[in-house]
Structure 1
């Protein structure tokens, strides 16, 4: 009983072809039988009789669409290069994280090594500053002081003109060095350091402007792609609704929709799919532009900080240790000159004392902590090197195309040794563990649909296969085509058989209500009159058991008022009225041999 009350499915074309041949054969046989039996003049009856039945009923909302994979990803490389490896082929099953293809990475690997070496060098310089002098540095300064102290106890030899000239030159040089330190940094050094800061700031602003412009262009292209998609969706919905309306009109006369109209509908659907792909590519370009803006600005800002730290170090000038060392050098040179010009012993003593003072100043300088400007400069160099290494590593990672999900390789557009062409996706990956169908439901029926409701899917290509699905979502926003308000409903189904292929046309019966026990009659038996529903029954209930050849041309009938309940395309529930399983229902305009509860159309009538 339950099988007979289910909604009628789309018929198998082969089965209909065989049925048509049987009908033609029956007509030919009837023609010969009529000629052999001229006394047979009983015309074909233009009505059918049936009895109400009890059993389950499901109220469904019918819709159609195209079955699509759960997810389809177009994978591309983010940079150009030679293809070195293609690790998969069409039809391969891959896991998330599995490498699919690689570019030639030798140049990228060298960049990573170079950036890592630069980072190590910058970090070592910073660590050396933070750690202060090493034991070797302090030992060298101590040795210099010990040597100066030993020199103090020594006397110098005879003095020559060359010694005097050299001593005077040393005094002038030491005095000039001290004056330079006391006078602060040179204007040329400040100008050069300031120019580097200004150049870094200008480069930062230029980077911001260019990257922002690139992001704006990508965003504009995304917006244009979205508008194009909406236009294609609107055109498809208009064609789809026009076809459905025309289909209903033609069905009244037993005709089907012309193939050209179906072709126009399929072309509009393909245009929607192409627009969806263009929008996805525009979204990827926009995300890449945003990331490029973040990375580029971070690098430019690091350059600004490095240049500013250098400027601060130049403006800071000489510290106290450097000035003390310069004073000691001047005193040592003057003492050496005095020694040569005056009393040899006194001059030698003064020179030795100056040497000791110089060594002591040098030891203090070595032990002193680094300045803030030196630390800032070293930290900026480390940050810049770290950013360069991260960028090089990212470029190397992106040279290997990795599967982001579990799926099946649907398309491979790569050849080893060729230069990668970004105009086409490198690899197309499809998740075939589940499928979805997006169907359009008008505003009258959508109120009956809820997320989680069960759905029966049938495919034109596989008429004997039924897929079980559920309603996954209902778009909150409506679309209006040709004055009809409709909503997109997504239906999902998991673990489909291997015979199911993406792109197959699917019909969906969304079960919105069910009863396990109901009194049902064919929908064609219901007629409406002045707001009331009626069922015509024969005055003789036993007429349903009479052979068709013995039935009258027009039986006596009476109208029974009824109240209706659940319904689908084939049957309808009677909730009240003077009907039971013994009533004999009269249905005019139907071939007498038609079985209302057995499925299939009457002879000569094509099911849509």
Structure 2
């Protein structure tokens, strides 16, 4: 501290000047602040509390669409034979727009109608009173059936007799055929000690070894035919015309099988000789006349066996037919006897019920046929306008393929609102719509549909709202942009203040009013609001004025200057400071 005092003593002049400058600066700063505060003025802008109408609304933008749109598709396939659609055409519900070729479906409906009518007639006949003439007819039918049975039995007996006779004729020829076939294969006409079959095979192999397979086939088929023939011949010798029908039938079937086996042996043998003859001919080797004789015999055997086979087959068919006739005659007797018994017993309630069910089934079939026929016709499902036609007359259309697009004349606007605004909207609320494409048009409408489920996009939930138009303007087209204002609530002749005048504090609303030129808070209760005004339900009366804003102004620069340079002792203080620095 002592050093500091000594420092001041040595530099007394410089210290005195510093103190003087600091004092002058502080004085003028203080004077400037006083002048500025003294010259600032606050002006309040107020608005009168009045009565008016408040309309609370939410707004959104969207697109114009139609209330209903459907692709017209036939439910059947076929050629288009009638077409009455073109773009822009107005249609009424039920109008016929297209027809496919329905020839088969029309026939099905006719058949179903005929079947239904037949079932109804059968029911009428079933429930009709018993007629004596019907009883006589039923007895006559039974008698004819009973007469047919012995005739069929006689036919069966004759068929068995004819069959036995034909078996006898077979065994007049078959032994010669079998012995002749044996001689052709196992005779010694070419070389002593060598069968004909071996001769043919040996000579043929000189030119084509393939003949061996034909020789083996001929021999095997002959052996099978010989075995069948010998057993069949023994059975034939053991039977007679007096044998029972079962024995004769077995003999006929056995003989037919033997003939087939013999015919196969003849065919294999002829194939064998044909191959032999063709092989030698190709090599320009002369064929023996004995071979030609064998070929001729085989051809004769073939004709004979074929004739017997045809006759034996006819015998089998005759027996089968006669047996079937007996069965049918017996069945007819049973049916006619039953019909007569039923006629004498009267109508069975179960038969009536059964026929009634048949009628219902036929009615259902007719309805189904008519529905299928309707599938070939395309009709307008509602009043509307054809937006697009894609089919041509004469083309083929497939089931489920669109031939035109039908839209309603009733247009709607589809907008999207956030979850806060959507919660305020209800079906039936009124709305105002404007359109970017038709700037001079404003129409009214109402909310017709609100989505039940919202869509979430980037954490924001939104809901679709559909607005129906009150009037239809042809200038408004589907796909145009639309701005919609939905009226949530409206109040008439209520106290209103500008929205900017309302302030909030600790959960309550208030406005400021001037009392003797000084702003004072006044708590109020609010109702609904629109974009510019708020309803006041309590706290104000009509005619009150509320502060909406305030402006701050200053006095002229000259006034500020005077204030700065004046004041008690102002100049003397400055002179004193200057003197202090000397």
What TM bracket, shorter-length normalisation?
A: 0.3 to 0.5
- What is the TM-score of this pair, normalised by structure 1? 0.44
- What is the TM-score of this pair, normalised by structure 2? 0.46
Larger-gyration structure (1/2): 2
